[in-house]
Structure 1
Amino acid sequence: MRVLMWHVHGSWTTSFVQGRHEVVIPVDGQRGPDGRGRARTWDWPERVREVPVHELGRTDVDCVILQRPHEEELCRQWTGRVPGADLPALYLEHNTPGGPAATTRHPMAEQHTIPVVHVTHFNRLMWDCGRAPTTVVEHGVVDPGYRYTGEHAGLASVVNEPVRRGRVVGTDLLLQLARGHRPLDVYGMGMQDLATEATALGLSAWTARLHDDLPQHDMLERLPRHRAYLHVCRWTSLGLSLIEAMLLGMPVLAVDTTEASAAVPADAGLVSSDLDALLRRADHWIEDPDSAREAGRAARRHALEKFGLPRFLDDWDRLLEGATS
């Protein structure tokens, strides 16, 4: 099958393109948000094909996966076909509602020809999708292999755009942690902004080490050297970096919001809304590396079973076949 989709979420797309379908990715001269083309920091197979925007009207596709509201109109303009009418379509929703919890209306809520595919059951529960058909395909992640050493007796966290997104991704919690004595490394995009913000807040005891926008393979090498992974997001969908950390064999500490409690079993770490409890567990693992290693092995076993690629790709095969039949 030939599937049209935009390069929006590189990590998620990296998992999707491991399947058997040919994927058409729009590209333009600027490689902007609507024409980014193939990933440059992830390894995608050759069946992911860039197609210039002006050639999409002459490109045969069997289905389109929409991920942002305006892509419905882009598809009409660039292919000459109407999603959900003369072109089978699915709408992939990556995120939790951006407005009030439980009452935010989904952009696709007023139609019934394009199913909305959520990546977590929590997201499906919270979005008001109106009369749109909905389903859930939980994440699948490419297995990076067991790499845990835990040689650095500290915590690692991955947060993208921590200043712009603020409390949503738990930036304030990272700043609180930075006042303490525990080593903390933060990875992601926008780390320079975070360093500036910490200075503005007068954190003279700022001790976190920041790693800005590393290539994926570098981050996967560095993360498992830390004793444990810390997930501080308050109101985001389930972060793929959390799943990757589990696959790497890292024990996990997570703020108990959204889908975290369903993703992390008790023997793999601690999920709690009590920050002090999370820090006590961190201290325990820092003092007892064998306990941390045991929890990390449990995390990997669970992640392989729940977030393995075979299940994920099979779920998407069934969805695509249903949409085009």
Structure 2
Amino acid sequence: MPFGANVHEIPASEVPSQSFDVVLFQHRRQWDDDRLNLLTDAQRRLPRVYIEHDPPQENAFEQKHWVQERDTLLVHVTHFNRLMWDSGETPTRVIEHGVIVPDDVRYSGELERGIAVINHLRQRGRRLGNDVYAQAAARVPLDLVGMDAQSAGGIGEIGNLELAAFAARYRFFFNPIRWTSLGLAIVEAMTIGMPIVGLATTELSTVIRNGESGFIHTDTEALIDAMQHLLRDPAEARRLGEGARRTALERFHIDRFASDWDEALRYVCS
């Protein structure tokens, strides 16, 4: 995604000479290495925020987060992620996604196919649901897009700015992922009015309501039945998509996202 005019990219070598109000980390390497080797002593004393984008990867419920500091705010992007991480003494809060999609992009659903958006599905295996996708694709017309999608029989990568319009033609969005954060592609699909079908795992189980915005279940046969039903009934798919859009505008609106971040930054800087 292109940055706005208020974002300024500088070489790492220039960071020590810069003046900042707050330091934000988004990757363990940044916390373990850059914090110690790139920032000055004064910069390390600045207010700090660490954004954790994923649930624990090593142990579902016992992994302790590497940020263990009372003076750093650990921000999770879903309530499920915060529940599963052992954040120890570090203060936490949840700031859910906020998305912007082009005003002229809306769900049409004329393609009698479903779409899944997953990067490196074949490489990442069962955690990302490669077996679930293959099982469904054997009985339901599905297209996979994302990085290296071709190796799993998919189309390939679609640029972020083009993805919403590309997906809008498909009848439904399919999410076969067992263990993940809430994907932005799902939120964007909901925002344009697309029905969601997926595994009732992690945060998605709190987002989609059966019969209102899509269909979720832990039974893959039930998911296949739901997808086949939407292929036969485009009016029902559109009705569910409208419910998904209402949910997205209430829960994932960009104004709410900006307000939450404004509040978080004021908190750490106070």
Aligned-partner Cα distance in 2 for 1:105–1:76: 20
Alpha-carbon RMSD: 1.5
Aligned-partner Cα distance in 1 for 2:102–2:191: 7
The code of the aligned residue for 1:126 comes to M
| Cα shift at 1:167 | 0.8
Secondary structure of the 1:70 match is: helix
Contact 2:16 2:40 in 1 (8 A): yes
| Cα shift at 1:94 | 0.3
Which residue among 34, 37, 47 is the counterpart of 1:74? Answer: 34
The code of the aligned residue for 2:243 comes to A
Which residue among 89, 108, 113 is the counterpart of 2:67? Answer: 108
The code of the aligned residue for 2:101 comes to D
Contact 1:228 1:253 in 2 (8 A): yes
Structure 2 spans left out of the alignment, 5+ residues? none
1:158-181 per-residue CA deviation (whole Å, 9 max, x = no partner) reads 01111221111111111112222x
Q: Which residue of 2 aligns with 1:258?
A: 202
The code of the aligned residue for 2:172 comes to A
The code of the aligned residue for 2:48 comes to A
Secondary structure of the 1:65 match is: strand
Aligned-partner Cα distance in 2 for 1:101–1:121: 14
Q: Which residue of 1 aligns with 2:101?
A: 143
**Counterparts in 2 of 1:176 and 1:220: CA distance versus 1, 3 Å:** same
Aligned-partner Cα distance in 1 for 2:38–2:10: 11
Contact 1:250 1:296 in 2 (8 A): yes
2:5 is the counterpart of 1:46: yes
| Cα shift at 1:193 | 2.7
| Cα shift at 1:128 | 0.7
Q: Which residue of 2 aligns with 1:299?
A: 244
Deviates most, 296-305 or 263-272: 263-272
| Cα shift at 1:44 | 2.0
The code of the aligned residue for 2:34 comes to L
**Counterparts in 2 of 1:81 and 1:212: CA distance versus 1, 3 Å:** farther
2:46 is the counterpart of 1:87: yes
Aligned-partner Cα distance in 2 for 1:144–1:171: 30
Aligned-partner Cα distance in 2 for 1:68–1:252: 29
Secondary structure of the 1:79 match is: coil
Q: Which residue of 1 aligns with 2:146?
A: 188
Q: TM-score, normalised by structure 2?
A: 0.94
| Cα shift at 1:143 | 3.1
The code of the aligned residue for 2:233 comes to D
| Cα shift at 1:219 | 1.8
Aligned-partner Cα distance in 2 for 1:121–1:212: 31
Aligned-partner Cα distance in 2 for 1:184–1:104: 35
**Counterparts in 2 of 1:239 and 1:82: CA distance versus 1, 3 Å:** farther
2:182 is the counterpart of 1:238: yes
Please list every run of at least 4 consecutive aligned residues from structure 1 whose deviation after the TM superposition is greater than 6 angstroms. Answer: none
Q: Which residue of 2 aligns with 1:123?
A: 81
Q: TM-score, normalised by structure 1?
A: 0.79
Identity over aligned residues, as a percent?
37
1:259-279 per-residue CA deviation (whole Å, 9 max, x = no partner) reads 011111330011111111111
Aligned-partner Cα distance in 2 for 1:47–1:218: 23
Q: Which residue of 1 aligns with 2:234?
A: 289
Alignment length (residue pairs): 267
The code of the aligned residue for 2:147 comes to M
Q: Which residue of 2 aligns with 1:28?
A: none
Which residue among 189, 206, 223 is the counterpart of 2:167? Answer: 223
| Cα shift at 1:82 | 6.0
Aligned-partner Cα distance in 1 for 2:149–2:41: 41
The code of the aligned residue for 1:318 comes to E
The code of the aligned residue for 2:113 comes to G
Secondary structure of the 1:186 match is: strand
Aligned-partner Cα distance in 2 for 1:184–1:138: 28
Which residue among 130, 134, 157 is the counterpart of 2:116? Answer: 157
Q: Which residue of 2 aligns with 1:273?
A: 218
| Structure with more contact order per residue of length (Cα contacts < 8 Å, sep ≥ 6) | 2
Secondary structure of the 1:157 match is: strand
The code of the aligned residue for 1:156 comes to I
| Cα shift at 1:78 | 2.3
The code of the aligned residue for 1:133 comes to P
| Cα shift at 1:192 | 2.9
Secondary structure of the 2:10 match is: strand
2:78 is the counterpart of 1:134: no
2:206 is the counterpart of 1:248: no
